[in-house]
Amino acid sequence: MSLLSLRGLSKSYGTVRANRGIDLDVAEGSIHAILGENGAGKSTLMKLIYGVESPDEGEIFWQGDKVSLSSPAEARSRGIGMVFQHFSLFETLTVVENISLIVPGRKAELTSRIRELGRDYGLEVDPAAHVHALSVGERQRVEIIRCLMTDPKLLILDEPTSVLPPQSVEKLFETLLKLRDRGVSILFISHKLEEIRSICDHATILRDGAVTGNVDPREHDAHDLAQMMIGRDMPAPRPFEARAPGPVMLELAGLDCRPDDPFQISLKSVSLQLHAGEILGIAGVSGNGQGELARLISGETRRHPEARAEVMMMGQPVGHLGAAARRKLGFAFVPEERLGRGAVPEMSLADNTLLTAHRLGLVKRGLIDRRAEEAFTARCIADYDVRTPGPQAEAGALSGGNLQKFIVGREIELGPRLLFVAQPTWGVDIGAATAIRRKLVDLRNAGTAVLVISEEIEELFEICDRIQVIREGRLSPSLDVSETRVEDVGRYMIGAEERARP
């Protein structure tokens, strides 16, 4: 008998059919993968199982009995726990306070149980710490502990590895295997094929809200799984051209920055050099200062005029200049948040091009040249394969991948000498991600300096010449990709390299 069975589950949001007639069987003591691209309906399905949303149609069977899970509390009482992708922790509360929100008991009692579970499963965390002071990996441990304390029979993990460095991923997998051996089934949501092959004993593949396959992932190679997931062959990466590096286009020299905001990371003597015609990647676990570094380079955070030389662009000190002045020098920037910083969701694509491309003849004598604006937008849409009705479509109506292609296209069309892209393919489907990476490599081959911040190491290894790792606001020395292994970068990500050295 299955622990959990779904029969014909459907859920629509407006006209979007997020889940269509899903059948799923999770066995006892199994690590079961739900594999699918972003937007395939994985998260919606998990919300239905955890009672956050109710299905429009279909039935849920728990240990053979038909149930209706109308709230998370009900799901928990039946033994279903969930670790969210975007953590549902409260930053201003302590670890034990967070846990006491769903686990009954006195604080002292909970504290000792947290320590105990931490030792048993390798999930060490300080119960009295405030969550805002914890690293992303620690927060995930808190989420898992919180679930374990409700004694679940089924644990749902939504993209648990997307925020972890490789070594922590291994540790997480050990924890999951231990849990499985003690009789807890795990629903493991991911779009990373190798991970699923290494730990899961069953995989259900989703595409466009429907099940497209039910397989044992250990019997299929990554290529097969990818084909089931995206419905076509994986596009090949762009071949790399060797180039002699050009002049330095971006230089940070011993940058120190202490923010007022206690939730932000201080940067400590950050140094980097980026040459024309190369791609430099900044790797690291999220929350180690990437956001702060990005704002310093983009010009959203300005330095005191005396410290102007801490940021040099095209050979000029720009530390004290704002974003517009830096862009005038030939700098272009794709921020991490597409909606709100990269584009204005309520405005049309055409008006969104105006935000950064206004210098390219789109404005004449203070008036907008609508025809030029439209033509420029149409070019971005065509060249970057943006799937949209046209230049007048609202930016917020595009899917994440399409909007990202559009924003990257807009910035590349500016003809920058220095392009900075933060998280180029976050939440973007495989097809669009590959297209974006190819464009970045093309740009490098054409002699532009490209800086990329990403949490996906594989992505950095695919496109970068060099990688530096950011950890707790410090940058590692520069690592040449051709002479570096993923594990080396991983060691810098968790700080093992610093400890190993005197």
Query: Which residues here bind another protein, judged by CB under 8 A?
Result: 50-52, 71-74, 76, 82, 84, 87-93, 97, 100-102, 130, 132, 260-263
Tell me the closest approach of the beta carbon of residue 15 to another protein, in angstroms.
19
CA-based R_g, the chain, Å? 24
CB-count burial class (<10 Å; 0-12, 13-18, 19+) for 185: buried
Tell me the closest approach of the beta carbon of residue 156 to another protein, in angstroms.
12
Nearer to another protein, 100 or 140 (CB): 100
Nearer to another protein, 89 or 200 (CB): 89
The tokens for 63 are 């240990």
**Residue from 14, 53, 51, 49 nearest 34 by CA:** 49
Distances (CA, A) of 293 to 72, 239, 267: 38, 30, 7
Nearer to another protein, 51 or 401 (CB): 51
Tell me if residue 502 falls in helix, strand or coil: coil
Location of structure tokens 């005191």: 304
Nearer to another protein, 35 or 149 (CB): 149
Distance, CA of 466 to CA of 143 (rounded, Å): 35
Tell me if residue 24 falls in helix, strand or coil: strand
Nearer to another protein, 31 or 46 (CB): 46
Tell me the closest approach of the beta carbon of residue 102 to another protein, in angstroms.
5
Nearer to another protein, 75 or 428 (CB): 75
Largest CA distance in the chain: 74
Contact in structure between 147 and 99 (CB atoms under 8 Å): no
Nearer to another protein, 50 or 426 (CB): 50
Distance, CA of 77 to CA of 151 (rounded, Å): 9
The tokens for 5 are 């069975």
Nearer to another protein, 14 or 262 (CB): 262
Distance, CA of 315 to CA of 274 (rounded, Å): 11
End-to-end CA distance of the chain: 57
The helix (H) or strand (E) run that includes residue 16 is strand 16-26
